[in-house]
Structure formats: C-alpha cells, structure tokens
Amino acid sequence: MNEHRTEQQLIDYAFDLASDAAKRQARAHLDQCDACRRKLDVLKGKFAALDLLADEIQASPDLLAQTVATATGPRPVRRLPIWRHTWIGAVAAVIVVGISLLMVSTLQPGRAPQTPAGEPVVVDSAKASEMKSESLAPAPTKRIALAEKDVAVQTLAPTAPAPMASLAMAPLRKPTEEIVEKPPFAPASAIELVVLPRREDIQLTIYNGADLTLVRERRHLTLKKGWNWLQFMWAGTLIDPTSLTLEPVTHQDRVEVQQLVFPPRLRELGRWLIRSETSGQVPFELTYLTSGLSWRAFYMGTLSQDELTMDLQGYVRVDNQSGEEYENAQTRLIVGEVHLLDQIRELAQRQYAYGSPLPDGVKGMGMMGGMGGRARVKFVDLAFRGAKDDRMGLLGDILERKEIRKEGLSEYFLYTIEGAETIPNEWGKRLLSFEVEDIPVTSLYKYDEQRWGSDPMRFVTFANDTEHELGESPLPNGQVRIYGRADAERHLSYVGGTGVKYIPVGEEVELNLGPARLVKVEPTLMDFATDHYVFDSNDNVTGWDEVRTWKVEIANARALPVDIEVTRGFETAYWELELRGDGVAYEKHDATHARFKLTVAPRHKQAFTYIVTTCHGVREEAFVRKQR
C-alpha cells in the first residue's frame, strides 16, 4: 500500500485541485486505505460547514429597488470631493465661523454661554449630523453616519474614563419598516456600536454590613423602530450579572425590554433585546448589584485643654475597588446588616452569568492574586490633596463642604451624601459626616489588673444624645482617634484611638484610649494571715479565713486631677473588706470584685489601704449566715 495521503493531498483531491495523475494515485490509494477514507470524510464534514453561509445573505427589495434607481437614474452632478482638499474645507469653515460670530455679536444682546475648557462637549448625534450636512456639500447618508461616529468618538472617548462596564446599541436599520414579529437571534460576535450612551443620574447605595452596592443609573439610549440589541459588558468589574435589570423610564407603552441573553462562550457579556415602536432617544434605568464598593465611618475627637469637652468630627470614607468608575454619582450609605443569599463578588466572578461557580479555592486564588498585585486604596485627604487633583473634584469639596443627610430606613439607617460624588476605580474618598463642638465628656482612668494588666486605661465617655450635642442619628461603627490640645496655642497631641460599635441614639459611648502613661497604679500586698480555722471530728481543717492587707498607691504625673477607678478581684464570692484612707470610696462591683473610686490631685501620689478577708471551706457557710 502507498503511503497515507496528507491532508493537503486529500483537500486537493476532494476539490479537484490536483493534477490528473495525482488524482488517479489518490483514488487508488483511497480504495484500499480505510484510514485515509476516514480522514477524507472528516475533512468533508468540516467543509460542509461552509454551506451554513451559503444562503444567509439576501438583498432586500429596498436595496434592489434603490440600486436600480441609482443606476438608471440621471447622472448626478459631480461634486467637489471636499474632504480630499482639506484647505478648501478649512477656508469654508473659517468663512462660516466668521459669519456666525458676526451674526452672534450683532444679533444677540448678551454673550452666549461658553463651554469651559476641558469639559466634555456632549453633542447630540442627530444635531451633529445636521451641522455636518449643513457645513459640507449635500452628502450621502453614509457620510452623515460617519459624522455621527466622529462626534461620538471625539466627545466621549477622551472625557469619559473608559468604562469597564459598557453599553453598546445595535439597532436594526430602516426604521420605517414594519417591525418583524419574530425577534432576531442574538448575534454571536461583537455587536455594532452605534451609540455609547453616557451615564446620567447614577445612584449608588452602599451597604457597609455586606460587600454589596446597588447601582441605579440612567442612560439615554438611541433606539430605532424595531428590534434593538443592547450589549452590556462587565469585564473586569465585580457586577453581579444575575441582578441586571433594564427598564425604560418613559415610553413604557411603546418600548419593551423583552429578554436578556448571555451568549455562550462570550464571557462577561449580556445582551438585551428591546422592541421599540418608536425611534429616537429613550431614557432607561439600569439597575444591578456590584461588589467592591465599601464605606466606613471614622471619627476624630479633640479634647479641650481641661479635658471636660471634646470637638468631634465624623467622617465616612468610600472606597471603590469594584473595577468600575462612577462619575458624579449620588451616593447613599446604609448602616445595618443585610441578609445575602450569595456573595456578590463570587457571582460577579463567574465566567458565565448563570454558570456553576468555581470551587472556593480556585476563586480565592484568582481574586486574591489579582487584588494582591494592585495598588491599594489611595487615601485622599481633602485637607492635603484637594487642590492638586481636579479629576476628583476635591477643590470643590474643600470650598463647599457637603452635607450628609441621615434618615431611617426600615431596619437600616440611610446616609445620603449631598450632591454627586466621583469615585474612580481603586480610589477612596473621605467625606465629612458631622462636626460637633464642645461635647461634654468625662475622662476616667480605670485600673483592673485582670483585664488590662498593670497599666491603668484611659477612657473618655459621652452619650449620643441631645445633652451632648449629638443624638440626631445613630453613629456607625468605626475607628475613633482622640487628640488633646497641648497648650494655649492649641497644638495637638495624640491621646489614643479605639474602635466603636454602632451607637444608637441615647446610648452612652465609652472610648478606650489605651494605657495611660502619666498615671500609675501600684498595689502592694502588705500583710497576709489566716484565721478562724474550723476542724472536723478528725481534726482535719475544713474551713478558714485569709486576711490580706493591700496598699494601693496611685501616682498622677499629669497637670490635671484624674478620676480613677481601681477594680480588685478576690477570686471568691465570700469576702468582706475594710477600707482605710481618706478621699476614697468603694463599692461591690460584682460577686468577686470591689471597685474603688478616688480623685488624685495633679502631680500627686495618693494611697489607700484595704484589708480583705476571704472565707474558705465551711467558713463560707458562716459568712453567708453572717451576711443574712
């Protein structure tokens, strides 16, 4: 048997491309060789796929009629191809502009508003085409369409930071035709880009209790009468594709969003099929959930020099790691926990909208790997960065502080940031939530060796109520940093920081500022004795008392008097205490602890002594009887 035929030889044989001699040899070989026959069949099967395109394109009756009319009609007057001679266009443009300016200056009483430099010039595509068609010689339809494209590219591309989630429209042509009842199949390849609609009125509702943000955005889509495909891509973002909804804001009776399809093998892409009985711009509202946007509250307190009052500023910081840029978004922040069935981040990272999610391990590797390589959030401090970065609009923030409006919302609390915010991807933004001066506060030092070790802790206490100039709304959990005014020049020193939990209205807030450095507490065991032994009939000890004498010395190195609570534990509930010393009082804090309270003068030491007797064994019963 001859050698097997190559694929090329088989193709040439099948398509009559080989020489006669080669064809004879191939035929003879194929008669004997099963493998080559099978190979040939496979090839034929493959090439049979070419037939799929055989009859798919048909010239419409309109096109045929138009073609006949164009070909048989009178010859058009030859036009000067103005676009080939740019100088003619330039001269014409100068003349037109000159005449226009002359007319404006002579006819209009006031000056026409001017577009500021750097601002995006949004030109309605229809108007743009009119402008083009007026300034140029009467142009064919295609040329006008080209003008629309030019305008779209020039006005949108440089100003809008290329959105990772983008919309593209694919209207069917010939709006005057009757609408075909059967919807067209979703084209499998890239879709035509006719309009890149700008976002308008975008609203973000960010839940800090979960990695969840509700995005509602409004876009004006240019629809043609008939079926329109709208493509939405979310590549590189954390948008949950299962949450996508699209609704027309107007023309609901004439525009119908029929379905959302997710074409196979095309990742992170969905297409809406829209049936429109009208053509032109229609506002749509697009809603979806995304992950990666978060906000958190933090506070900055400044204690007065006498530490009796505190100025408190509350801030919220919004971080955007969603992969999407949100420009001029109305931002609403929700305090409270929401119940989520799925993690949006995981839904968003599915390869296909409704496909099976990857195993956790794989997902985690992908996400964390991606995030790990990124620059972390760039913190933007209004006070220091604003003037440099116009993109963020921070200068405006400094000049005109925004108000954050608060209102209750079912189980949650809603904070609405006044105006609109631009939050670029991977950026964070800090906003002032509230600012209150002279909140009465209580400074207190606490010493509890069992809880905090040998250092006393410093606390500042106030309440979220009207008496403390607060109480307007709950305070979200967040970090608190406390500074103190060090001198009359109002220089600041860092006092301490802590985290606070959600503080409802009326609740007291106790801020633990950490170990005190200028106040020391030193307890010393001065004496130990046992007493009141009880023996059983075998002379074994069954009960006894232990008597300890403790001296507690408090050193206050501060220039201010300090109130201090010293908590002492006895490891038994059967104790009694005798206190010796002036200016100190104690109370039973709980079954096993006593709490001493005193005020220590500035730069003074003060000591008190207590003798505690604890009962053990059967002496506990005697202690109980005595207490009764």
Partner 1 sequence: MTEVTDESLLAAHLRGDTAAFRQLVQRYGDSVLRYLCHMTGNRDQAEDLFQETFKRVHEKGHTFRGPRLKSWLFTIATRVVIDAARRRKRAPVLSLNQPVDCGPEGCSELGATMVAPDATDPADDLVREERKQQVREAVATLPAKQRATLVLAYYQQLSYREVAQVMGCSIGTVKTQMSRALARLAQRLPDAVSVTK
Q: For partner 1, which is the closer residue by CB, 172 or 367?
A: 172
- Rounded Cα–Cα distance for residues 370 and 323 (Å): 11
Smallest distance, partner 1 to C-beta of residue 71, A: 4
Smallest distance, partner 1 to C-beta of residue 236, A: 16
Instruction: Return the number of other C-beta atoms located less than 10 Å from residue 85's C-beta.
Output: 11
Q: For partner 1, which is the closer residue by CB, 148 or 346?
A: 148
- Rounded Cα–Cα distance for residues 614 and 570 (Å): 8
* Contacts of 34 by beta carbon, 8 Å cutoff, 6+ apart: none
- Cα–Cα nearest to 413, from 368, 367, 364, 473: 473
Which region, left, alpha or beta, applies to residue 329 given φ > 0 means left and ψ of -120 to 50 means alpha?
beta
Smallest distance, partner 1 to C-beta of residue 82, A: 12
Smallest distance, partner 1 to C-beta of residue 146, A: 6
Smallest distance, partner 1 to C-beta of residue 285, A: 24
- Rounded to a whole number of angstroms, the distance between the first and last alpha carbons of the chain is 116
Strand residue runs (E) in 304-358 = 309-320, 326-335
Structure tokens at 402: 């925004």
Q: For partner 1, which is the closer residue by CB, 103 or 153?
A: 153
Structure tokens at 91: 């001269």
Smallest distance, partner 1 to C-beta of residue 115, A: 24
Q: For partner 1, which is the closer residue by CB, 170 or 310?
A: 170
Q: For partner 1, which is the closer residue by CB, 17 or 371?
A: 17
- Cα–Cα nearest to 567, from 447, 445, 443, 444: 447
Smallest distance, partner 1 to C-beta of residue 165, A: 17
Phi and psi at 254, nearest 5°, equal: -115, -15
Q: For partner 1, which is the closer residue by CB, 58 or 540?
A: 58
- Rounded Cα–Cα distance for residues 52 and 184 (Å): 17
Q: For partner 1, which is the closer residue by CB, 181 or 400?
A: 181
Q: For partner 1, which is the closer residue by CB, 83 or 535?
A: 83
Q: For partner 1, which is the closer residue by CB, 166 or 313?
A: 166
Q: For partner 1, which is the closer residue by CB, 85 or 588?
A: 85
Entry field: residues in the chain? 628
* Contacts of 553 by beta carbon, 8 Å cutoff, 6+ apart: 521, 522, 523, 524, 605, 606, 607
Structure tokens at 187: 């084209």
- Cα–Cα nearest to 331, from 317, 342, 344, 321: 317
Instruction: Return the number of other C-beta atoms located less than 10 Å from residue 627's C-beta.
Output: 8
Q: For partner 1, which is the closer residue by CB, 174 or 451?
A: 174
Please report, for residues 135, 312, 335, 446, 535, the alpha-carbon distance to residue 562 in angstroms, rounded to integers and kept in the order given: 83, 22, 36, 10, 48
- Rounded Cα–Cα distance for residues 55 and 63 (Å): 17
- Rounded Cα–Cα distance for residues 204 and 572 (Å): 56
* Contacts of 481 by beta carbon, 8 Å cutoff, 6+ apart: 298, 299, 300, 301, 494, 496, 497
Smallest distance, partner 1 to C-beta of residue 50, A: 6
Smallest distance, partner 1 to C-beta of residue 193, A: 4
Q: Do 44 and 13 form a contact (C-beta atoms < 8 A)?
A: no
Smallest distance, partner 1 to C-beta of residue 49, A: 5
Smallest distance, partner 1 to C-beta of residue 18, A: 9
Smallest distance, partner 1 to C-beta of residue 52, A: 5
CA dihedral angle for residue 118, residue 120, residue 125, residue 131, rounded to 10 degrees: -30
Residues engaged in binding partner 1 (CB under 8 A) = 7-8, 11-12, 15-17, 42-43, 45-50, 52-59, 63-64, 66-68, 70-72, 83-84, 142, 145-146, 148-150, 153, 168, 170, 172-173, 182, 184-194, 227, 229, 264-265
- Rounded Cα–Cα distance for residues 411 and 414 (Å): 10
Q: For partner 1, which is the closer residue by CB, 90 or 190?
A: 190
Q: For partner 1, which is the closer residue by CB, 68 or 340?
A: 68
Q: At what angle do helices 141-156 and 125-135 cross, to 10 degrees?
A: 120
Smallest distance, partner 1 to C-beta of residue 63, A: 6
